[in-house]
Structure 1
Amino acid sequence: MYRYDEFDEQMVRERVAQFRGQVNRRLSGELLEDEFKPLRLQNGVYLQLHSYMLRTAIPYGQLSPRKLRQLARVARTFSKGYGHFTTRQNIQFHWVALKDVPAALDLLADVEMHSIQTSGNCIRNTSSDHFAGAARDGIRDPRPWCEIIRQWSTFHPEFAFLPRKFKIAVTAAETDRVAIRVHDIGLHMRLRGDVLGFEVHVGGGLGRTPVIASLVNEFVPEDCLLDYLEAIMRVYNLHGRRDNKFKARIKILVTELGPEEFTRQVEAEYAAQRPNEKIDLPRAEIDRIHAYFKLPDFAEKPETSAVFEAAKAADAGFARWAKNNLHPHIMPGYTSVTISLKPVGGTTGDMNADQMEKAADLSETYGFDDVRVTHTQNLVLPHVALDDLPTIYAELVAAGLATPNEGLITDMVVCPGLDFCTLANARSIPVGQAVQQVFADPDYQEDIGRLHVNISGCINACGHHHVGHIGILGVDKKGEEFYQISFGGRADEKAVIGTITGPGLRSEEVPGALKRVIDTYRSLRTSKDELFIDTLTRLGHDPFKEALYATD
């Protein structure tokens, strides 16, 4: 994990002091809300339905036990004892009083954390694969380049006031676990011989105009990456619209210019950079940052574990959890553990302070001090010995963190919706909970197999409903909440936007309608190995649409 140097530390401390003064001026009435709004947004502070919300950055989803314990302390001291992990791999505290925000930021600064650039029209938190450095299908660890991008983009004077917010994601695995094709810029690490570089996708995004990013360059060598990113940002900053926020994202610019013309302008901007404008990123500096992300010193172990196998044979609950929540590791005798934050009937992505501390303890004792946040609102212990899994599972069960559903239908992505958000026009959390109850039986979930359900409470799509295998969008019709259903979305390496099926359903109709859809899939699949998304692709939407709108 990267450690802040003296410049990082000074920058964060000065920002906290500056914002403390701005908060005091707002509380005294010296600043009106319209004047204060751009200042608080630059520090991750939102005004929501019931209170202020503080969004804290977790660069590329990386946490340590020390940081996770401090997040627990912030939750316990300044919120209602819990935090909410987001699809940007950040954490939000929904109940922080404005007067307490500077003190909360001071606590975060004590452990090299902050809320800078988690809002506003700037480059936001760079996200990455939560299995980075641990997964067998990764060619390299992308996190050092996420850190380099973080350092380049933080307080970048040219990109502090972009036409609209801007999001970058980086992966190095063939399986896209970070949804690079629905980001403003998505970077896919590639190797050409011994040369490392990046495939560059630009102009993806969801919201009211969902777009899959265009491939603008098949290979940018690593030592040219920041210069190429600067060229993209300059074209966007120059031509992106500022007269209409609904048409201000880079996806609109790429769509209106066309991918070919946009690419031509980027290449021209890149070629026009003079030598003194190039970013000098010495090999020594690249190597220095990479050194922070070296793998732990793993003990040599056999591929299998007698302790692990015996526990599976003795405990059906453990066996189910192991089947669903473990991911193959690059080292024999190790695995990556998903800690599901999706208990049936719970609130997706929420974690209380005691649970945060328990995850920190497990990471410290068994996981080489490494915790990751996923863009699907779970946590991961990326490096765990198979021998330790029975003990870890028992601890997770006691903490209410052992839900065995990673990737299954109850492992939903759900935005806070109208229960919290001023932008939402429908509730998301209760609908997700009601759907979970229908599919609560673990045997039923496993029979259904891998299936992604995503729920958003408004067109801003914070729940990424456009790319769910089944997407649910809450809409308001004359004061009543309805839910549009879409089929066929996906956010992986085969990314595609889902198709709306037809009229919206009332909230109480949604769970039963989805059950009819799923049972139709189970009757039509060629085998239990054919996933919902594959059956849907093979047969088209008609049989599932018919099931959705059928009457029981």
Structure 2
Amino acid sequence: MYQYTDFDKQFVKLRAAQHRDQLERWQAGKLADDEFRPLRLQNGWYVQRYAPMLRVAVPYGELSSAQFRVLAKIAREYDEPEAEVYAEALKIQGAMGSTQLPTHYAHFTTRQNVQFNWIPLSKSADVMDLLASVNMHGIQTSGNCIRNITSDERAGIAVDELADPRAFAEILRQWSTLHPEFAFLPRKFKIAIIGATEDRAATAWHDVGLHLIKNEAGELGFRVLVGGGMGRTPIPGTVIREFLPWNQIMNYLEAVVRVYNRYGRRDNMYKARIKILVKAEGQRYFDDVEAEFKQIVEHDGGQHTIPQSELDRVSASFVPPSLAGRPVVSAEAVDTQLRQAADADPLFARWLARNVAPHKNPSLRAVTLSFKRLGQAPGDASADQLDTIADLVDRFSAGEARVTHDQNVLLPWVSASQLHELYTAARAAGFASPNVHLLTDMIACPGGDFCALANARSIPIAEAITERYQDLDELDDLGEIDLHISGCINSCGHHHSGHIGILGVDKDGKEWYQVTLGGADGSDLSGAAVAGKVVGPSFSAAEVPDVIEAVLGTYRDLRENGENFISTLRRVGLDPFKAAANAARAVPAHAAVAA
């Protein structure tokens, strides 16, 4: 992991101290609400439907066990609303059919952030100090600036990786943090970077997506995509540069963002993202970026050209950890041990197949902890669970873990010889669901249960679908399916890129849901990034599980030769799935099967 310098540590602590001063002046009436609001937002402090929400940055997804323990402490001691606020929230939720709102939780997002939903603003300075004690903060997790830079959760360990993107992500983090020119962009700006052939970071759905590649001469560089985004107008990114030398990436991004800052719309927030500018201007925008880049490099001296020495300095923080003290077991012995354990325990065999991925080091594995289960919203982890994760991270993964785009936690440094031991511990903690990439490993935003922007709740829909699909044999038979749920058009649950997407909409003040099919995030499983298509009029919350069941039943009927869901959908087209979904409105699928 990257090791903060003394400057980094002092910077974060001073920012926390600055927030405490701003909070105290607001509490004393020396700062008006309108004055305090932009200041707290710069540190990740929102005010949502019922209470404040804190968004904590996790640059390129890496967390240490010490950081998990501080997150657990914050969840346990601070993520608790005032009694009157919580009672009123429960009253409102009860009117919508919900009986509880969890507290003392953290929530992992699709952009490798961590959120808390109940911390009172009066305690925010204490929380900022706690975060700073382990080099964490909420800087630039809000506002019209360059947000948290995300990456592949298997960065540095993936067998399909050409180059480790983490050093570049860290250099870009340092460059973008409080960049004075880009602190007030037309709209928020998101960057994702990968170094592998499979895109596990949904780069095409970001304002800028960066792919580490090599040209014909074997030189390392970037393929640069620009103008991706979801929301009201889902648009995958477009390649603006097929190859850019790696040392020019900051100069080029400076040009990309500078041209956007100059011409992006500020009169309409719904048309202010860079995707709208790229769509409207096309080649003209590309030409302006190239002209600006030339100006930066040839006339301004290319001040942000990355020297090899700086890349080497930062890369030194991302060497594999020492695994001294672990048992030394031959590969043959490990294979025999795992085979015997899998034969004796079918659930362990499923877990090996689903939750364990290969590693650059053949003696190691990457293991996903999945805690998506009945009674727990996707991405949520309680204080006790966060502490347990920290213990597993120390015991099995050299003190390091990764937050994934799919709202799970990955352990990147697990010895193959310890897989069964890890499985046993994870199962005892409830983290061993063998469902990674299956239907119940869904993405969902907090939705209307917490978010003031949401039109409908996401969590009850996720729960209803999860409840219906508890049979592991059935899940395995259905195969890999990306199910994504958003509570509003802002698409925090990435519904546009789901093979099956569910979007909460408002109809006459009531909760309804649109279903989309055929979306993809750009991974090998999904193919090119594409937005799903709506299959018909919106459905009530009660109808959604039946609609999903009807769609999956159609897939079962039409698939050939072991096809996965998205392949069948692309082969036969949308019409039979659309017909099945709309028919489910009149005849619930489970009732039809029973008949």
Residue 513 of structure 1 corresponds to: 547
Residue 295 of structure 1 corresponds to: 320
Tell me the distance in 2 between the aligned counterparts of 1:121 and 1:317.
46
Q: Which residue of the other structure, out of 91, 115, 118, is the alignment partner of 2:141?
A: 118
Residue 498 (1) aligns with residue 532 (2)? yes
Q: Identity of counterpart residues, as a percentage? A: 50
Residue 337 (1) aligns with residue 367 (2)? yes
Residue 234 (1) aligns with residue 258 (2)? yes
Q: Deviations over 1:323-360 (max 9, x none)?
A: 11111111223211011131134211011122112221
Aligned to 2:252, the other structure's residue is in SS state helix
Residue 478 of structure 2 corresponds to: 448
Tell me the distance in 2 between the aligned counterparts of 1:147 and 1:332.
27
Residue 255 (1) aligns with residue 279 (2)? yes
Q: Which residue of the other structure, out of 387, 391, 394, is the alignment partner of 1:364?
A: 394
- Code of the residue aligned with 1:310 in structure 2: it is Q
How much has 1:291 moved relative to structure 2?
0.9
Residue 410 of structure 1 corresponds to: 440
Residue 320 of structure 1 corresponds to: 350
Residue 593 of structure 2 corresponds to: none
Tell me the distance in 1 between the aligned counterparts of 2:495 and 2:174.
31
Residue 171 of structure 2 corresponds to: 148
Residue 107 (1) aligns with residue 137 (2)? no
**Do 1:183 and 1:203's aligned partners in 2 also have CA atoms closer than 8 Å?**
yes
- Code of the residue aligned with 2:569 in structure 1: it is L
How much has 1:365 moved relative to structure 2?
1.7
- Code of the residue aligned with 2:512 in structure 1: it is F
Q: Deviations over 1:282-304 (max 9, x none)?
A: 21111010111012346684265
How much has 1:28 moved relative to structure 2?
2.4
Tell me the distance in 1 between the aligned counterparts of 2:109 and 2:274.
22
How much has 1:422 moved relative to structure 2?
0.4
Aligned to 2:204, the other structure's residue is in SS state helix
**Do 1:415 and 1:463's aligned partners in 2 also have CA atoms closer than 8 Å?**
yes
Equivalent residues in 2 for 1:389-404 (5 A)? 389-404=419-434
Aligned to 1:382, the other structure's residue is in SS state strand
How much has 1:243 moved relative to structure 2?
1.2
- Code of the residue aligned with 1:282 in structure 2: it is P
Residue 532 of structure 1 corresponds to: 565
Residue 100 of structure 2 corresponds to: none
Residue 547 (1) aligns with residue 580 (2)? yes
Aligned to 1:459, the other structure's residue is in SS state coil
Q: Which residue of the other structure, out of 298, 304, 309, is the alignment partner of 2:339?
A: 309
- Code of the residue aligned with 2:436 in structure 1: it is E
Residue 279 of structure 1 corresponds to: 304
Equivalent residues in 2 for 1:101-250 (5 A)? 101-192=124-215, 193-250=217-274
Aligned to 2:543, the other structure's residue is in SS state helix
Moved more, 350-359 or 474-483: 350-359
- Code of the residue aligned with 1:106 in structure 2: it is D
RMSD: 1.3
Q: Deviations over 1:191-216 (max 9, x none)?
A: 12331100000000000111111100
Tell me the distance in 2 between the aligned counterparts of 1:358 and 1:142.
29
Tell me the distance in 2 between the aligned counterparts of 1:543 and 1:294.
51
Aligned to 1:292, the other structure's residue is in SS state helix
Structure 2: state its 5+ residue gaps.
80-102, 589-595
Residue 10 (1) aligns with residue 10 (2)? yes
Tell me the distance in 2 between the aligned counterparts of 1:30 and 1:476.
39
**Do 1:206 and 1:464's aligned partners in 2 also have CA atoms closer than 8 Å?**
yes
Aligned to 1:381, the other structure's residue is in SS state strand
Aligned to 1:473, the other structure's residue is in SS state strand
**Do 2:454 and 2:487's aligned partners in 1 also have CA atoms closer than 8 Å?**
yes
Moved more, 299-308 or 279-288: 299-308
TM-score (norm 1): 0.98
Aligned to 1:95, the other structure's residue is in SS state coil
Tell me the distance in 1 between the aligned counterparts of 2:340 and 2:366.
19
Residue 464 (1) aligns with residue 494 (2)? yes
Tell me the distance in 2 between the aligned counterparts of 1:392 and 1:423.
40
Residue 92 of structure 2 corresponds to: none
Residue 84 of structure 2 corresponds to: none
Moved more, 53-62 or 76-85: 76-85
Residue 522 (1) aligns with residue 556 (2)? yes
Tell me the distance in 2 between the aligned counterparts of 1:437 and 1:167.
34
**Do 2:26 and 2:33's aligned partners in 1 also have CA atoms closer than 8 Å?**
yes
Tell me the distance in 1 between the aligned counterparts of 2:448 and 2:150.
26
How much has 1:67 moved relative to structure 2?
1.0
How much has 1:27 moved relative to structure 2?
2.0
**Do 1:76 and 1:82's aligned partners in 2 also have CA atoms closer than 8 Å?**
yes
How much has 1:310 moved relative to structure 2?
1.8
Tell me the distance in 2 between the aligned counterparts of 1:130 and 1:353.
23
